[in-house]
Amino acid sequence: MGTSCREREAELIEPVTVPLRLSVPVENSSRLYSARRVIGDPGYAETLAAPQYVYIFAVVDNADGTQSVYTVIEKELDMTRWSRNTYTGSLRTEGDEVLTYERDITIPLTSQPRTAGRIYAAMSPVPLNLSNTSPATEAQVLNITYTVNDALQPHLQNVYSTPYNYDVNGEYYGKLNGITEKVPQARLMLYHVASKVDVMWAVPQDIRQQMKITGITVKNLYQGEAYLFKPNALQHEMINAGYNITIAGNSPATWWEGRQYVYTIPYQTAAGKFPLQIDYGIQTVTSDTYSLILLKTINSSGAIFSPWLRCQMTFTAPKSGSETKNIE
């Protein structure tokens, strides 16, 4: 029996269920799990705010040279979709504890042959304001930005995405496995979009009669548009009037020593540096301020994950004025 034109047209597009497993690192109170991209992250005594907003972009290469992008954006409150387990696989996080989001997405794959596919994904505990929610090509997916503002700043620690240039065995780690088969699938680890800034300070016992720390502020953090899948591609000159976070006040508990952290969006100046400014309130006979500017080199063409900044400041004498230091 022949097949009608209407029946053939109906066969051209077929909804296909694609099983996705998207994981983020977590920490157990009894042990520090090292599901991190660089030393120091996630760090000690940090907890994960479970993501509620999930952004998935499936890129499919068709045999005729065209490309299709399928987008899934949703708010997920069903905690039964999350499971806590140990990661096994080809990534450097082998053996680490992760929280895995189990989601089946439906994409309308055509009946024409497919040659390759890739998944780009992001998660956040709050909604992200994306520059493009309907990309038509992979290039448009990679150029998606999100807005970093006062509302998002406190949640940057818990925003994760798939870095576009993370390769495993010579290919993008978020490939759709079995793309030429009936049911493709993907399993990815997501990583922080923001850099962790680890700030430690100490005033030795022998000079504590001379000075104390009366406040510490991390200043001029980036706000604006940032790339969702290219965490090291942001270019910007040094910010002189940005977002400030006070991490220590005038308290006996932090006069002499302490440790705090903040998360911020990394950016690179024309000189290839990621600048960070920390202001210390210094109390001697009078009140003064010591401003420390850290400059970290970023290899934007080769770096995969957001860099970690570690600032360990031991005061050997009271300081004032400003100083710039390069860190690697």
Q: How would you write the pLDDT of the chain (328 residues) with one tens digit per residue?
A: 443 334 434 445 677 788 888 888 765 433 433 344 444 444 444 566 777 899 999 999 988 888 989 998 988 767 777 777 777 766 655 556 777 887 777 777 767 788 889 999 999 989 999 999 999 999 999 999 999 999 999 999 889 999 999 998 889 999 988 877 777 888 888 988 999 888 999 999 999 999 999 999 999 999 999 999 999 999 999 888 889 999 999 999 999 999 998 999 999 998 888 999 999 999 998 888 999 998 988 776 678 888 888 888 999 998 889 999 887 6
Write down the residue that tokens 């520090």 correspond to. Answer: 32
> Domain end: 192, 220, 241, which one?
192
Residue 137 CA to residue 67 CA, distance in Å, equals: 6
Residue 315 CA to residue 283 CA, distance in Å, equals: 13
Residue 39 CA to residue 313 CA, distance in Å, equals: 18
> Domain end: 147, 168, 192, which one?
192
**Are 88 and 168 contained in the same domain?**
yes
pLDDT computed for residue 91 by the predictor: 66
Q: State which H helix or E strand residue 11 sits in.
A: helix 5-12
**Are 157 and 304 contained in the same domain?**
no
Is position 5 within any domain? Answer: no
Is position 4 within any domain? Answer: no
CATH number, domain at 268? Answer: 2.60.40
> Domain end: 148, 175, 192, which one?
192
* Radius of gyration of the chain, Cα coordinates, nearest whole angstrom: 23
Report the domain count for the chain. Answer: 2
Phi/psi for 207 (5° steps) reads -120, 10
Residue 27: domain span: 14-192
